[in-house]
Structure 1
C-alpha cells in the first residue's frame, strides 16, 4: 500500500476525466460512476487515517524526487482527518445530487470530481506552489458548480465570487513568488528551515509574503472583512453544491494552520508566530458579525450561510490560542460544523421544495407536506449548530471555553461566544416559527424524496456520532494537535532525519 497516499487524488482525477470523455453517456450511468468514485474515497481515507494514527509523517515523492527538490505529498494526522471528513461530506452531497439536482446543467459530475481533487490535493500537498495549484483546481470547479442551474441570483453571486477569488489567486501567486525569490524553495518543510536560518535583511520581505498569504487564506476562509461573498454565494448555489462548499472555508483555515504553524511557527526566529496577534481579534469580530448577519437574514439558506461565518470565527479563535487544548477543541468543532452545516443546507432545500414559489424566504407560505418530520430534523440541527446539549456543538464549544486560559482573553471570548450562541438561537427560533408555525393554506408540494431526506439526516447524524465516539475522537484530535506543535519531525524531512 505504498501508493495509497496518492489514491485520494487519482480517484477523482481519473473519474472526472472519464466523465468528461463520456459526457454523452446516459445520465444514470454517469450518476452511478460518479457516486461509486465518491464513495470509494471513504475506505481509502479510513485506511490513511489508520496509517497516520501511529504518529509518523509519510511522504510520497513524485517521480522519486526527494524533498526539497521534488513535489511531495505529506500525510499526517491532520491531513488524514480532513480527507475522511471531505469524503463523508461529498458522499452524502453526491447522493442528494443524484436525485435530480445534477440535471440542471452539463458536466455536473465531472466538475464535482475535480472539486474533490482540488480539496484533497490542498489537504495533502507538502509544497506551497502546489497548494496554489490545487486551490486553482477547486476554485475553477467551484465557479462552474456555483452557476450550475443558472438563474440571475446565481450569476450575480458567481460574478462576485469569481472576481474576489481571482484577486486572491493573484495575491497568492505574488506571495509564493516572493518567498521563492528570497528563499529559493517552496517545499513547506524546507521553507520552515530557511525562514529559521535567514538573515535579518530578508525578514521584512518574508514577513510581507506571509501577510499576503494570510489575506489569501482569510478570503478563502471568509474571515472578516473578507467574508461578504459567502452568505450570498452559498444561498444561491444548489443544495448539494452548498453542502460540499461547507468544507471550502475549512480549506482556508487549514492553510492558515499549516503555513503559520510550520513556516511561520515557533521555530521561525524573528518571525515566530507573527500572525498570532491578528488572529484573535479577527476571530472574535468574525464571530460577532456572523451572528448579526443571521439575525438580519431574510432567507433560510442565507441564515445558514451566516452561521458558517460564525463557525469560521469560532474555529479561528481555537487556532489563535496556539495551544494543544485550543487546537484539539477547534478540530472537534471543525468536524461538527462541517457535517451539520452541510446537512442544514440539504434540509433547507427540502423545506424550500415544500413551500411552493416562496421557497426559502422567511415569510408566511403554504403549509409543508411533512411539517412534523422536517420540523423535528430542523429542531435537532438547530440545537446542534447553536451549541446546546446533547449534541456535538455543545461539547465543541465547551472544549473551546475550557481551552482559553484565565485572563483578558477569557473575559472577551466567553461573552462573545455565549451571547453569540444566544443570537443564533434567536435567529433559528424566528426561522423555525415562520416556516413551521405561521403557514397559510394547504400544502402545495409532494412529500420529500426518500434519498434526499436520507442524505440530509445522514450528515446531521454526524453530530450524534461525534458525541457517541467522543472519547476516541478527542484522543485522536489531542494527538493531532500535539503533532502539529512538534515541528522537529517536519524539519527532519529536510535535515536528513527520519520523519
Structure 2
C-alpha cells in the first residue's frame, strides 16, 4: 500500500512525458490530460482513505532507506493537500479545454508537470527533494504564466522568474549549510538530530534554517515578498490563475511541516519564527486587503485575496497550537477553491462584457446575467467570511484557535479585512449587475461547468463541515505528535554514520 504515497506524483509526471510524444492532435492531447487528472484524483481519494485511520505511508524509491534514499511520506496532512490539488485541477483543466489550451504548444504537458511538482512538494520527506519539486512546479509555472501571452504576461513573468531564481539560489545555499553541518536533509532525521546539535553549531544551523524559512515565505508571498503576486496572477490566463491559487499554499504547508516536525524541542528551533512572523502575517493581510481595494480588475481583486489568505494562514502557522493548525486545515481548502472560483468568474464576466472585460468600470449590461450574479453572490459571501458559508466557519475557527499574545491585533485585522473585502465585492456587484448600463455588447453571459463546480465548493464544505473539521483536527493532532512521523520514516532513530564538516 505504500505505493499510494508515490502515485499522485508519478501519474502526472508520466502523463507529461506521454503528452510530449502524443503529437499535435488536440483531441488526443485533451483525452490523455483528462485521463491523467482523473487517475490522479482517484489515487488521491485512495490515499485519503488509506491514511484516514492514522496510518503513515512511506514509499522508498529504489528501496533505499532514509536518510540517504528519497522517501515520499503520506500522512493525513499530505493526503488532504494532494486531494485538494486534484479537486482543483479538474475545473482548471475543464476551463482550459474551453480554448486556452489551444493557444500554444505543450500546455497540457506543462499543466501535468505543475501537478507533479505540487504533489511531490506535499509528499516528499526530505528537503532536497522538496527543492527538486519546487523547481519542477516553478519551471512549469513560468511557461504557463507566459502561455500565449503578450506584453503584460511578459512583464509579470520577468518579475516572477527573477524573484523565484533568487529564492532557488537561497534555498540551495541554505540546504548546503544545513547538510554540511547536520549531515542530513531528511525531515524526520533532522527532527532527531536538531535536538542534539552542539552549542558551537547552533548559530550556523539557525542561519541555514532561516534561509530555508525565507524561501518558504517567498513562495507563500508574505510581506515584503508579496508585491509580485497580484500582478503575476492577474496577468495569467484564467485557468492558469485558478490553478495558481494553490501555489502559495505549497509554501505555507512546507513551513507548517518544518515548524511542527523538525523544530520543536531544540535550541535551534526555539523562537526561530514566532517573534516576527505574526507581525509580517498581519501586515500581509492588511496589504492584500488594500491591494483588493485599489485593484482595477476583478482578476486583480482575486489575486489580492490570495495574499489575504496567505497572511491569515501564516499567522496561524506562527501560533503553532493544535487548535490553530486544525483551523488552518479547514480554512485552507475553502480559500483555495473560492479564490480559484473568483478567477473563473472574472473570465466569464470578461467574455460577456466585450472590450471592457473585467475592468471595474461601468460597461455594457450582461445579457442573461442572473446565473453569473448568483455565482458572484455565493463566492463573495464565502470569500469575505459572511455566514453561513465555509468562510465564516473557517474564520471563526481561526479567531478561536489562534492569537496568543496577538489576540487583539489578530481579531481586529481579520474582522476589518473581512468587512473591507465585503465592501469591495459589493461595489463590484453594483458595477457589473445592478447599475443601469448600455445594451448588451457581447454574447449572453454563460456559467460554465468548471465555474459551477467551484461555486458549489463552499456550500459543500459548509454541509460537510463536521466531517472536514474532524479530519482537519485529526491531521493537526497527527502532525503535532511528531514521533509517529519520525518513527515511520526513520524507525527508532538509529545512529547513522555521518561525515563531519572540517
Fold in common (TM above 0.5): yes
Distance in 2 separating the partners of 1:449 and 1:94: 18
The 3 A distance-change label for structure 1 pair 188 and 441 is same
Gaps of 5+ in 2: 494-502
C-alpha contact 2:281 2:314 (8 A) present in aligned 1 = yes
Paired residues for 1:64-143 under 5 Å: 64-143=63-142
Give the stretch that moved more between structures: 428-437 or 333-342.
428-437
Any idea what SS the aligned residue of 1:277 has?
coil
Distance in 2 separating the partners of 1:172 and 1:34: 32
Listed one character per residue, the Cα deviations across residues 408-431 of structure 1 (whole Å, up to 9, x for unaligned) are 421111111111111111111111
Q: For this pair of structures, how many residues does the alignment match?
A: 493
C-alpha contact 1:291 1:420 (8 A) present in aligned 2 = yes
What residue number does 2:498 align with?
A: none
What residue number does 2:22 align with?
A: 22
Q: CA deviation at 1:438?
A: 3.4
Distance in 1 separating the partners of 2:323 and 2:457: 22
What residue number does 1:468 align with?
A: 463
Give the stretch that moved more between structures: 30-39 or 165-174.
30-39
Distance in 1 separating the partners of 2:455 and 2:319: 28
Paired residues for 1:86-485 under 5 Å: 86-264=85-263, 266-404=264-402, 408-438=405-435, 440-448=437-445, 453-485=448-480
C-alpha contact 1:260 1:273 (8 A) present in aligned 2 = no
Q: CA deviation at 1:432?
A: 1.5
Any idea what SS the aligned residue of 1:271 has?
coil
The 3 A distance-change label for structure 1 pair 22 and 470 is same
Of the candidates 475, 485, 489, which is equivalent to residue 484 of structure 2? 489
Gaps of 5+ in 1: none
The 3 A distance-change label for structure 1 pair 494 and 31 is closer
Q: CA deviation at 1:365?
A: 1.2
The 3 A distance-change label for structure 1 pair 305 and 439 is farther
Q: CA deviation at 1:272?
A: 2.9
Distance in 2 separating the partners of 1:236 and 1:369: 26
Distance in 2 separating the partners of 1:318 and 1:160: 29
Distance in 1 separating the partners of 2:481 and 2:275: 21
What residue number does 2:500 align with?
A: none
TM-score, length of structure 2 as denominator length: 0.96
The 3 A distance-change label for structure 1 pair 439 and 183 is farther
Distance in 2 separating the partners of 1:364 and 1:106: 36
Distance in 2 separating the partners of 1:45 and 1:493: 20
The 3 A distance-change label for structure 1 pair 124 and 404 is closer
Give the stretch that moved more between structures: 272-281 or 469-478.
272-281
C-alpha contact 2:37 2:90 (8 A) present in aligned 1 = yes
What residue number does 2:497 align with?
A: none
Q: CA deviation at 1:103?
A: 1.2
Any idea what SS the aligned residue of 1:355 has?
helix
TM-score, length of structure 1 as denominator length: 0.96
Listed one character per residue, the Cα deviations across residues 38-81 of structure 1 (whole Å, up to 9, x for unaligned) are 12111110110011112122110111111112110011000000
Distance in 2 separating the partners of 1:208 and 1:398: 36
Listed one character per residue, the Cα deviations across residues 309-341 of structure 1 (whole Å, up to 9, x for unaligned) are 001111112212211110111111101000101
Distance in 1 separating the partners of 2:306 and 2:2: 37
The 3 A distance-change label for structure 1 pair 64 and 408 is closer
Any idea what SS the aligned residue of 1:283 has?
helix
C-alpha contact 2:220 2:248 (8 A) present in aligned 1 = yes
Distance in 2 separating the partners of 1:393 and 1:270: 36
Distance in 1 separating the partners of 2:409 and 2:78: 31
Distance in 1 separating the partners of 2:489 and 2:296: 53
Any idea what SS the aligned residue of 2:72 has?
strand
Any idea what SS the aligned residue of 2:58 has?
strand
